[in-house]
Amino acid sequence: MSTLPDRNELEFAKIEEIANSENDYPVFMLNLNKYFDRSGFLNQNEKYNDYIKTVYCILHETGGKMLWRSTVHDQMVGNQEIDEVWAVWYPSHKAFLGLKDVPTAAKSFTLKRQVVERAVIHRCDPY
């Protein structure tokens, strides 16, 4: 089992309540990522590629799916530095919570700490 970095305990309590209920349902997570090395991300250097490979493994292991990923080119309103946005679907809140327990999690979280400067994940209605 691995520890999720920057975990918001109050929000995870809500997710755990849903996951442990009779009414668990699919969930859509919108990930906003800022990388330490934007040029490495844009050029898809080895470290970034290794991290992304582990992300796809975790999604496979949890039954989740990367719906789409997009490079952020400009910011039209506000002030938030982001390099990439991911749209990720999980079959249930329980599946999302289980990502820390899958075989690839420890490797992925280690790589994430090397590649991702900041990640913000929003829980949204199922897509």
**Does the predicted TM-score (pTM) go above 0.85?**
yes
CB atoms within 10 A of CB 70: 9
Share of the chain above pLDDT 70, in %: 94
Q: How far is CA 92 from CA 7, 19, 80, 126, in A?
A: 19, 7, 29, 9
The total number of structural domains in the chain stands at 1
User: 41 with 35: CB under 8 angstroms?
Assistant: yes
Tell me what pLDDT residue 2 has: 45
User: Quick check: 3 pLDDT over 90?
Assistant: no
Domain assignment present for residue 117? The answer is yes
Domain assignment present for residue 86? The answer is yes
What secondary structure letter does DSSP report for 6? T
User: Quick check: 6 pLDDT over 90?
Assistant: no
Q: What is the pLDDT of residues 59-118, one digit of tens each?
A: 999 999 999 999 999 888 988 899 999 999 999 999 999 999 999 999 999 999 999 999
User: 94 with 24: CB under 8 angstroms?
Assistant: yes
Domain assignment present for residue 21? The answer is no
**Rounded distance between C-alpha atoms, residue 79 and residue 117, angstroms:** 16
CATH of the domain at 60: 3.30.70.100
Tell me what pLDDT residue 40 has: 78
Show the CA angle centred on residue 7, arms to residues 76 and 28, nearest 5°: 60
Domain assignment of residue 66, given as a range: 9-16+26-124
